Amino acid sequence: MNLKRLKNSFKYAWVGLMENHRREQNFRIQLTIGVFVITLALVLNFDWLRISVLLITCAFVLSLEMVNSGLERYIDRLTPQKDERIGKVKDILAGGVLMAAIFATLIGLVVFYQPIINIFFS
């Protein structure tokens, strides 16, 4: 095992994460929502299973957003000119992130429903 290569791979991954954070508004919004959701779950004293579900869901949406951003940049580099077919591919990529965000919202509603009901109606 080459520790220098391993260290460099983590360094490059961190650089990519920071680049995505710096340049992608949707990533920053999703990260903020994720931090809020996890913080609220901790404040409401959720069990670790519920918190784990929320963490996995947040990680999935954020990771998919990064894949989308990376592929869009790659596509833009390959074909800088406008192309309707390329636009459709980018729309499909964005639709995948939207689908993940919609289901993440549904998961959040399921996970938070009963604890919130208990707070307001008990």
**What is the set of domains in the chain, with CATH numbers?**
3-121 (1.10.287.3610)
Kindly state the average pLDDT of the residues 15-40: 97
* The predicted structure's pLDDT at residue 29: 97
* The predicted structure's pLDDT at residue 119: 87
* The predicted structure's pLDDT at residue 74: 95
Q: What percent of the chain has pLDDT over 70?
A: 100
Mark 7-23 as b/e (b = at least 16 C-beta within 10 Å): eeeeeeeeeeeeebeee
* The predicted structure's pLDDT at residue 41: 97
- Whether 30 contacts 101, CB under 8 Å: yes
Mark 31-62 as b/e (b = at least 16 C-beta within 10 Å): bebbeebeeebeeeebeeebbebbeebbeebb
pTM of the predicted structure, to 2 decimals? 0.91
* The predicted structure's pLDDT at residue 80: 82
